Structure formats: C-alpha cells, structure tokens
Structure 1
Amino acid sequence: MATEPKRTLVAIVDLLTLKVEVVTPVKFKCVEDCGRCCYELEIPLRDEDIEAIEELGYSAWEFVDYEKMFYRGDRFLGYALKKRPFDDGCVFLDPETKRCRIYPKRPMACRLYPFVFVKHGSKMEVYIKEDSFCPGINHPDGELVDSSFLLREYGWLFEEYRRKLGER
C-alpha cells in the first residue's frame, strides 16, 4: 500500500485581513510540459467541476469515472476524473504536448495542486503535498510561496471563504 506523501505547513492566511504568515519557506514552479500529476493523481470531481466541463461540450460519461469514489469519513464527496486506459493519463491531457485541453475549466483539485487548504475558523492553513514525482516543489527556479504568491494564485479561493464567513 502506498504511503501518503508528507504535508508541510507553508503558511497561515487570516481570512479576515488576508495577512499571510509564512511558516515554512518553500519554492514552487509548475514545470512546463511535465504533466506528471496528470498521470500520478486520482482527481476528485465536484458537481461544479462536472458542470463547467460539460459547458465545454463534453458529456460526463466521457470524463467521469463512476467506479472511483471519494469519501471523507462516511460522507460521499464525488467521483474521480477518468484516466486513459493506454497510459493512465488524465483524459484531458494531450499526450504529445503534455498540456491540459481544458486548462481554464480544469477541476478544483487540479487548480489547487500541490497545495492543500485547511480552514480553521477564520484562518486558512496552506500545506504543500511533497509528492516525489512533482519536480516543481522546491524547484531551483521556483517562486517563494509567500503572501504575493498565495494572493495572486489563490486569492479567488480566499475570497470565496471570506464570503462564506460573511465578511463581505
């Protein structure tokens, strides 16, 4: 059985003020034409992900793997994104260019990877999943995961949670 990759706490974001406290300095750069995560990960799909992809003209039967399900405890979270049978890559990954065919509408799990966000009250903990297959984690040319990185890349997520807190 595969062991779960190490998760390192990178930062804590105050959702009320958007102040970011960096806990562990980490650099990250998504390496162009890599696509390793598209082969290695099982991607959970939310209902919103399925709807967004269907808006592009795809039928759910083309991309939803109804045999793979995600749960948190006994709560059903959703189904998985299909993999291609010939190479186990995501059905939306172009095998030649290693680029996502639906990048602007890619599922939430793809948009967040390799980061994991855990909300505690008005604080959001930001972790990095240290998957051995991801060359972008602590890449020498990577960008420091600090306030400007997090607010630029994930500000939309923090704003969603701020709205849920009723602060807007």
Structure 2
Amino acid sequence: MKKWVATIDLETLEVESDPSFKFKCVEGCGICCERLEIPLRDEDIVAIEELGYNVWEFVDYEKLFYRGDKFLGYALKKRSFDDACVFLDPETKRCRIYGHRPLACRLYPFIFVKHGKKMEIYVKEDSFCPGLNHPEGQPITKEFLLQEYGDVIQSYRQKVLG
C-alpha cells in the first residue's frame, strides 16, 4: 500500500507535504535488501559494471519488470543461501556498492510519480521497514528532498522545463 507524503513543484521547487510523516533509514538494517525485488535500469547496470562487476554476477535475467505491457528491466540478483541482494554484506548488513546502488534502492521507500510539472511523492507502507515514522526521522521537506534526491529531481526538471 502507498500513501501520499509530498508534492514538489518542478518549476518552483515548492513542497507541500504531510507534516505528520517522518523517515530515517536505519543503518545496518538491510531488511529491504532481503525482502524486495529490485528493478535495474540500463543506467544502473552500466554503473555497477564500471565498478568491475560482470552482469552475470548481479543481474537476474529470469525476473522481468513491466509497467503494463512496457518492459522496464531485469531484477537485481538475490543470493541463494539467504535470498538477500548479492551486494548486501551478510555480516554488517551494509551495501557493498552503496554509492552506486540502483535508483530503486536509492528511492526506497519512496515512489516518485510525475504529473505534468509536479512530482508526487508516495511512501510504500511496508510493515517491515523500521524507518517509517521513526522517532528520529526527518519530515519530507524541500531540504530533505533536495539533499537526498536532488539529482533525481533535477533530471525530471530538465525533462519538464527543457
């Protein structure tokens, strides 16, 4: 289930948000890396290959993602012994490619949906995520969005504003 948490105007960067919602990614948690199937974009695959990995090490060509009838991409491979992402360190529960992780990993638990010149931001209300409404969490403000997702917002702005 998803819930609206914010809308950002791509022209003015004004943000309207639900002030009651807060989020904090809990370091060393890794539950999302174990439970979710992660779609890979072509850009994600290239970025990980540039780190020296071979696609056969991290792309699961048997899991396909579609939106309607449009093919979106393949899934990030899971380990056979614990069903976690191949890049999750089993001891530290930290991502081995954190700075180059796929966009779906960066965005989680948020879903960005563009409507004209506005970007609506929803949160996936996964019961297993301890960061949702965490007592030390941050509200979804303009500052939070630009700090965490500034490059993503900027790329959407370029597409919308030219």
The aligned residue for residue 8 of structure 1 is: 3
2:76–2:85: 8 Å Cα contact kept in structure 1?
yes
TM-score, structure 1 normalization = 0.94
Paired residue secondary structure (2:40): coil
Q: CA deviation at 1:155?
A: 1.5
2:59 maps to 1:64: yes
Q: Amino acid of the residue matched to residue 42 of structure 2?
A: D
TM-score between the two structures when normalised by the length of structure 2? 0.97
Q: 1:18 is aligned with what amino acid?
A: L
Alignment of 1:142-153 (within 5 A): 142-153=137-148
**Is structure 2 residue 159 aligned with structure 1 residue 164?**
yes
Structure 1 unmatched runs, 5+: 1-5
What is the alpha-carbon distance in structure 2 between the residues aligned to residue 141 and residue 158 of structure 1? 25
Alignment check: 8 A CA contact 1:12 1:23 kept: no
Are the aligned partners of 2:19 and 2:139 in contact in 1 as well (CA < 8 Å)? no
Tell me which residue corresponds to 2:115.
Answer: 120
Distance 1:26 1:147 in 2: 14
Structure 1 contact 9–24 (Cα < 8 Å) conserved: no
Q: Is the contact made by 2:24 and 2:134 (CA closer than 8 Å) also made in structure 1?
A: yes
Structure 2: gaps of 5 or more residues: none
CA RMSD of aligned residues (A): 0.9
> What's the offset of the Cα at 1:23?
3.6
Identity rate, percent:
70
Q: Show the counterpart of 1:75.
A: 70
Correspondence for 1:102 among 92, 97, 102 = 97
1-side partners of 2:18 and 2:82: how far apart?
Answer: 38
Decide whether the 8 Å contact of 2:48 with 2:100 is kept in 1. yes
Aligned match for 2:24, one of 15, 24, 29: 29
Per-residue deviation at 1:150? 1.1
SS in 1 for 2:25: coil
Contact kept, 8 Å, 1:14 with 1:124, in 2: the verdict is: yes
Q: Pick from 122, 132, 143: which aligns with 2:127?
A: 132
Mapped contact 2:19–2:140 kept (Cα < 8 A): no
Give the deviation of 1:148 after TM superposition: 1.3
User: Helix, strand or coil for the counterpart of 1:95?
Assistant: coil
- Report runs of 4+ in structure 1 exceeding 3 Å deviation: none
